[in-house]
Chain A
Amino acid sequence: MSIALEQHAAEFTQAIIDVYKEEVPTPSFLRSFFTTVSKPSKFVEIWVQRGTEKIAVDVNRGGGGRRNQFSKESQKVFLAPFYDEYFDATSLDTYDNMVNMGAPAELVGSTVRNIGEKLQTLRDKINRAKELQASQVFETGVVQLNSGDNIDFKRKATSIVDPGAYWGTTTTDIESQLIAAGTFLRTDGKSSAKVLNMIMSSTAWIALKKSDYFTKKANYNNVVLLDINMPIADSTGASYHGQITAGSFILNCWTYDETYETDAGVDTRYLDANNVIILPATGTRFVMAHAGLPKIIADPARAEFNFINNMAAEFMVYNNIDTKRFAHNFGVMSAPIAVPVSIDRIYTLQAISAEIEQG
């Protein structure tokens, strides 16, 4: 294609008045329930020893005590999925200018900023993948992988419940459903928290507000609309609406309607709009583990000698020259896996019927 005349004349006939580069925020709400850990190893593992709630029994004095044992535990090893997103910086005109023309300082700065912004975009992509992992852990307990075997954390079937009676019907006994959730977290999850976080779609929230349970029992007038002591701060993507009670449990109500785009450009929800996720507000052990990332280590004394080492990091930014394509690549790597260490402290309730959601 020939170079257009405007390429020459634009400077005299038109002027840029503003530039808008869309920076799409990355939700972090679901990730905020996970503690970030980075290790240099390729595999990461957890050890879990589940407990019991047995009680002491009185014995005869002088007859000896009752023998207890602590003999069972589980080891779980994971090969974290690997994300490597890069772009070819030579496609940027400013890069050509900088390298080939002895660029002025402001042009060099512009190029570096441009590359930095694109690296941030790549990092955001990986952060969305981490958010998706967290959503899959909360919904099914299975992290879906594209290049590998799915990681199934083996949530109990009783923690993923379709009650058959949905919130779209105003007379549904929602309180019983929420009490059942709290009871599971207490009995199976051994959680002592009476305050729970309930994460739902706006569809579920609207249905909840219209329900008999909400209007007649939960007493909308008493909903707390602001609580500055909420434990989850510094995260985006969710809205806090207040607290409701169910039996002896208090539920913090959150809505979360965030979406991401697939490679094909299809907007997809992180969490199914039909599902409600219920977690203890305190005492959960969820870890966003990051396995080691390969880094090229250059020996300054011998420029020709490089070697690869694994480093512990959440992300690693790299650049390299593709000498065959004469391309300068910049990229971001990460190997995260969202691990629900306290696996039975997650409860998924289908609150909205699939038919309503599809309609």
Chain B
Amino acid sequence: MSITVSNANNNQSFADYDRTKFLLGDNDFSRADYIDSGAGSTLAAYLVVSRISATGKLVPWVIAASDGSEFPVGLVWLGGAASIAVAASATKSIEYVNKGKVNKDLIAFPNAETLASVVKGMGRLDDWLESLGLVLESGIELTAVDNS
């Protein structure tokens, strides 16, 4: 869930709530260490991640890599949190979802990639993720927030 606060002053405050679900059913999870690249980072939920073959560490998907991290393994799951901070070069044990239905509208991408980006030699990312066992769905939103 995300909350966006606006128009706050001494007499008013607006908060827009977005309770869009990411996990839509039949999901499986795996756990591995996520490693920061060195400068410290904020790890966003639902980020496309891949693994460095030699270490088994998770990193954000790097489309042009050649150490194994060019192949996505799943989407970061932070238990409902929107993000966590990872200190410089630190590792953090996290879960990632690699099976079942997920809301494709919430997927976060590194380096401005999209579901149409190409996994090296394997075709589009959305096809790749589906081949892992993820079912990418999109909900039809029937509500909206108020003027703000």
Chain A interface (Cβ < 8 Å from any Cβ of B): 48-52, 54, 66-79, 81, 145, 148-156, 343-344
A72 and B11 contact, CB distance less than 8 A: no
- Going nearest first, the 5 A-B pairs with the smallest beta carbon separation are A149-B9, A69-B139, A74-B146, A50-B144, A48-B146
With CB as the reference atom, state the residue of chain B lying closest to A76. B14
Q: B9-21: contact bitstring with A at CB < 8 Å (1 yes, 0 no)?
A: 1111111111111
B11 and A67 contact, CB distance less than 8 A: no
Task: State which size class the interface on B falls in.
Answer: 20 to 34
B140 at the interface (CB under 8 A from A): yes
B19 and A150 contact, CB distance less than 8 A: no
A71 and B14 contact, CB distance less than 8 A: no
12 sample A-B contacts, Cβ–Cβ < 8 Å, listed by A number: A66-B140, A68-B139, A72-B19, A72-B141, A75-B14, A76-B15, A77-B15, A149-B10, A149-B11, A149-B12, A151-B11, A154-B146
Contacts A72-B16, A74-B148 hold; do A148 and B10 have CB atoms under 8 A apart?
Answer: yes
Q: With the chains together, A155 CA to B148 CA distance in Å?
A: 8
Q: With the chains together, A329 CA to B38 CA distance in Å?
A: 70
Which B residues touch A81, using CB under 8 A?
11
Give the Cβ gap from A110 to chain B, nearest Cβ, in Å. Answer: 42
Query: Is chain A's binding surface mostly helix, strand, loop or mixed?
Result: loop
Contacts A71-B21, A79-B11 hold; do A154 and B147 have CB atoms under 8 A apart?
Answer: yes
A50 and B146 contact, CB distance less than 8 A: yes
B142 at the interface (CB under 8 A from A): yes
Q: With the chains together, A292 CA to B33 CA distance in Å?
A: 53
With CB as the reference atom, state the residue of chain B lying closest to A77. B13
Which A residues touch B16, using CB under 8 A?
72-74
Q: A71 contacts which of B10, B11, B20 (Cβ < 8 Å)?
A: B20
B142 and A68 contact, CB distance less than 8 A: yes
Chain B interface (Cβ < 8 Å from any Cβ of A): 7, 9-21, 24, 137-148
Q: With the chains together, A172 CA to B13 CA distance in Å?
A: 41
Q: A67 contacts which of B7, B13, B140 (Cβ < 8 Å)?
A: B140
A155 and B140 contact, CB distance less than 8 A: no
Which A residues touch B146, using CB under 8 A?
48, 50, 74, 76, 154, 343
Give the Cβ gap from B124 to chain A, nearest Cβ, in Å. Answer: 22
Which B residues touch A69, using CB under 8 A?
20-21, 139-143
Give the Cβ gap from A222 to chain B, nearest Cβ, in Å. Answer: 37
Give the Cβ gap from B94 to chain A, nearest Cβ, in Å. Answer: 24
B11 and A73 contact, CB distance less than 8 A: no
16 more CB-based (< 8 A) A-B contacts, given A76-B13, A154-B146: A49-B143, A52-B142, A52-B144, A67-B139, A68-B140, A69-B21, A70-B142, A71-B21, A72-B17, A72-B145, A74-B14, A74-B15, A74-B146, A75-B14, A76-B146, A343-B147
Q: A73 contacts which of B13, B24, B138, B145 (Cβ < 8 Å)?
A: B145
Which B residues touch A153, using CB under 8 A?
147
Give the Cβ gap from A137 to chain B, nearest Cβ, in Å. Answer: 13
